[in-house]
Chains A and B, each alone.
Chain A
Amino acid sequence: DQQVKQNSPSLSVQEGRISILNCDYTNSMFDYFLWYKKYPAEGPTFLISISSIKDKNEDGRFTVFLNKSAKHLSLHIVPSQPGDSAVYFCAAKGSGAGNMLTFGGGTRLMVKP
């Protein structure tokens, strides 16, 4: 049972345009959501997070939106740069589960110059 899903395995975007990566979850106990970026053979790098009490969080070019009723979150990257090309994972944490993260399967983003 996949509690966190990223339905698009890959996404291709032109440099300068917006990249939108999506993530759906099923567990209503999740209360904190994170996005990580990962290059091959490296550990995930933290990008941005959002608490379930908010619906938007912004950090520079990165914005995360949370729609609790739809159990959906998205990461917007504006403008996209070739260096953003990587695999992006969304992760969720639930109350009472310590720091255990449940990850989605990842979306490979390719930003073309």
Chain B
Amino acid sequence: KAGVTQTPRYLIKTRGQQVTLSCSPISGHRSVSWYQQTPGQGLQFLFEYFSETQRNKGNFPGRFSGRQFSNSRSEMNVSTLELGDSALYLCASSLRSGTVQETQYFGPGTRLLVL
């Protein structure tokens, strides 16, 4: 079974631009979560989508948004990029949402550099 895939793997943008990142979950998985990893803040939860609905949102400004399609693929968008948005963005998928023993499997991440 193929793992979680993320595209692109690397991205360079300038301040003020917007960016869209894509994530394809493991086949059959319906929940997709997004995380941001930075040296200062560690791994932080952005949001989770399940069956095309946002289920949870972390403590990030409204510039960060996402969506999920009927095939469970997900995109996240960051508008008006700031230097502090430079990070590794990780996508994780799991079969279900909300069950206790639900394990998430991560993709390789998209490294975003904002200049």
Q: Is the CB of B103 within 8 A of A34?
A: yes
B98 interface residue (CB < 8 Å to A)? yes
In chain A, positions 87-113 with a C-beta closer than 8 Å to chain B are: 89, 91, 93, 95-106
Closest chain B residue to A105, Cβ basis: B42
Q: Is the CB of A46 within 8 A of B105?
A: yes
Query: How many contacting A-B pairs (Cβ < 8 A)?
Result: 78
Which of A41, A43, A49, A100 is close to B103, meaning CB atoms less than 8 Å apart?
A: A49
B55 interface residue (CB < 8 Å to A)? yes
Q: Is the CB of B107 within 8 A of A99?
A: no
Closest chain A residue to B46, Cβ basis: A100
B90 interface residue (CB < 8 Å to A)? yes
Q: Is the CB of A99 within 8 A of B101?
A: no
A65 interface residue (CB < 8 Å to B)? no
Complex: A32 Cα to B94 Cα, angstroms:
14
In chain B, positions 1-39 with a C-beta closer than 8 Å to chain A are: 4, 31, 33, 35
Complex: A102 Cα to B97 Cα, angstroms:
15
A residues near B65, Cβ cutoff 8 Å: none
Q: Is the CB of B106 within 8 A of A44?
A: yes
Interface centre among A34, A46, A100 (most CB of B within 10 A): A100
B residues near A98, Cβ cutoff 8 Å: 31, 48, 50, 55-56, 97-98
A42 interface residue (CB < 8 Å to B)? yes
Q: Is the CB of A43 within 8 A of B33?
A: no
B115 interface residue (CB < 8 Å to A)? no
A31 interface residue (CB < 8 Å to B)? yes
Q: Is the CB of A99 within 8 A of B33?
A: yes
| Chain B interfacial positions (CB closer than 8 Å to A) | 4, 31, 33, 35, 42-45, 48, 50, 55-56, 58, 88, 90, 92, 94, 97-98, 100-109, 111
| Chain A interfacial positions (CB closer than 8 Å to B) | 31-32, 34, 36, 41-46, 49, 51, 89, 91, 93, 95-106
